[in-house]
C-alpha cells in the first residue's frame, strides 16, 4: 500500500482589532467561513490579535461571541492575545495578574504621574490598588477632542465609555466590576501577551517556506534585548507601567535585529492600518473606526479577508 500523503499544514488565521464592533466580527467570521475550504476552516488555528473592547458599542457582545467559539468550532484552536485596551479593562475590574514580585500596582503610577491631572485618572473606590493603565482607562479626560484621531474622546484616553455602557453602567463607575460576568473576567485574566507557533507555512515568490510565528499586539521593539521582551511577555510582567510590545507605536514597527535573517513571522494589530513587509504583518484595518472594516489574514496564502459590515452599510469588501 502506498503511504498516505502528509496532512496539509494547518491553516492559521490572524484577526485584527475588534474594538466592540460585534456586527463586523460576525460578518468577518462568516466571510472567513465562506472563503476557506470547510476542512481548513474547521481545523484552523485562529489568533485574535487583541483590543476587543472600547470605541465600538458592543464590547459585551464581542466577548460573548469569542467565548462561544470553542463550543461552536471544537476542531479549531483559539488564541486570545491581550491588547493595550484589554490590559487596561482587566486592570480596572481587578483581574490583571498580580506583579510577579508581589509589588503593589500603585508602583506603576510614578512614571506617568505627571499626566494624572490632564488625563483625569480614576480616583474612585479601589483606585489605590489599581494599575496605572486601569486608572487611565476608567478616568475622565478633560479635553473633548482627540486630535490624533480627529474624533471626540469617548470618556477616557482609551475611549472606554462604550465598554462601560455595554455592561449597563455609566463611564467611570466602580460598579463595572460587579456588572461584568465572571466568565468575561476570566477571559480578561487569561489573555496571553504573546503567542509563539512553530512550523507555520507561508507562500512566497520562491515557494512555500516554514516559519516560526510570533503574534503580539503591537509588535516587538527593534532596539531592546529580545530575550528581555520575551520574558516580560511570556510571564505577563504587570510591574511594567506601559508595555511597549502591547502599546508602542514607532519602536515596534519593524522586526527586531535578533530575528532578521531568521524565518520568523511577526504579526500584530494595534496600529490602525494594514502593513505587510516581508515577514512583518500589521493587521488592523479597523482601528476602532465605525466606517472601517475588521481585517484578518490567512496563512499560508496571505489572503486578506475583511468584514463587510460597517454598522449599517456593506460598501466595503
Catalytic residues: 85
Give CA separation, 127 vs 81, 101, 120, 133, 242, in Å.
26, 20, 13, 11, 17
Cα atoms found within 13 Å of the Cα of residue 274, Cβ hemisphere only: 15
Backbone φ, ψ for residue 214 (5° rounding): -120, 120
**Burial tier of 102 (Cβ tally within 10 Å: 0-12, 13-18, 19+):** exposed
Give CA separation, 300 vs 146, 174, 210, in Å.
38, 45, 9
Q: Show Cβ contacts of residue 65 under 8 Å, excluding neighbours closer than 6 positions.
A: 22, 25, 26, 29
Helices 84-92 & 182-190 angle (0-180, nearest 10): 130
Give the integer Cα–Cα distance in Å for 34 and 223.
Answer: 41
Question: Which residues on neighbouring strands pair with residue 47, listed in sequence order?
Answer: 14, 79
Reduced 3-state DSSP string for 179-240: HCCHHHHHHHHHCECCEEEEEEEEEECCEEEEEEEEECCCCCCCCCCHHHHHHHHHHCCCCC
Strands 264-268 and 151-152: unpaired
**Burial tier of 216 (Cβ tally within 10 Å: 0-12, 13-18, 19+):** buried
104 CA to centre of own chain: 25
Strands 207-215 and 264-268: parallel
Sign of CA dihedral 136, 139, 142, 143: positive
Amino acid at each position: 500500500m502506498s503511504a498516505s500523503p502528509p496532512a496539509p499544514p494547518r491553516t492559521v488565521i490572524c484577526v485584527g482589532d475588534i474594538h466592540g464592533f460585534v456586527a463586523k466580527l460576525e460578518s468577518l467570521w462568516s466571510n472567513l467561513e465562506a472563503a476557506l475550504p470547510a476542512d481548513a476552516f474547521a481545523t484552523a488555528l485562529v489568533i485574535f490579535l487583541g483590543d476587543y473592547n472600547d470605541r465600538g458599542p458592543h464590547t459585551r457582545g464581542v466577548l460573548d461571541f469569542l467565548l462561544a467559539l470553542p463550543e461552536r468550532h471544537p476542531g479549531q484552536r483559539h488564541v486570545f492575545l491581550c491588547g493595550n485596551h484589554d490590559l487596561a479593562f482587566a486592570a480596572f475590574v481587578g483581574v490583571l495578574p498580580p506583579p510577579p514580585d508581589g509589588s503593589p500596582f500603585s508602583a506603576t503610577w510614578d512614571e506617568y504621574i505627571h499626566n494624572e491631572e490632564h488625563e483625569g485618572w480614576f480616583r474612585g473606590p479601589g483606585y489605590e490598588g489599581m494599575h496605572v493603565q486601569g486608572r487611565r482607562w476608567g478616568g475622565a479626560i478633560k479635553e473633548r477632542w482627540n486630535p490624533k484621531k480627529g474624533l471626540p474622546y469617548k470618556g477616557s484616553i482609551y475611549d472606554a465609555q462604550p465598554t462601560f455602557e455595554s455592561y449597563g453602567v455609566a463611564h467611570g463607575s466602580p460598579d463595572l466590576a460587579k456588572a461584568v460576568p465572571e466568565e468575561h473576567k476570566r477571559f480578561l485574566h487569561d489573555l496571553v501577551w504573546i503567542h509563539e507557533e512553530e512550523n507555520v507555512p507561508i507562500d512566497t515568490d520562491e515557494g512555500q517556506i516554514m516559519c516560526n510565528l510570533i503574534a503580539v499586539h503591537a509588535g516587538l521593539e527593534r532596539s531592546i534585548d529580545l530575550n528581555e521582551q520575551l520574558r516580560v511577555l511570556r510571564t505577563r510582567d504587570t510591574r511594567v507601567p506601559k508595555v511597549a510590545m502591547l502599546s508602542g507605536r514607532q519602536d515596534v514597527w519593524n522586526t527586531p535585529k535578533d530575528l532578521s535573517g531568521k524565518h520568523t513571522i511577526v504579526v500584530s494589530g494595534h496600529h490602525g492600518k494594514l502593513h505587510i513587509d516581508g515577514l512583518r504583518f500589521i493587521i488592523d484595518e479597523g482601528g476602532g473606526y465605525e466606517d472601517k472594516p475588521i481585517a484578518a489574514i490567512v496563512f499560508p496564502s496571505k489572503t486578506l479577508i475583511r468584514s463587510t459590515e460597517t454598522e449599517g452599510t456593506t460598501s466595503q469588501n
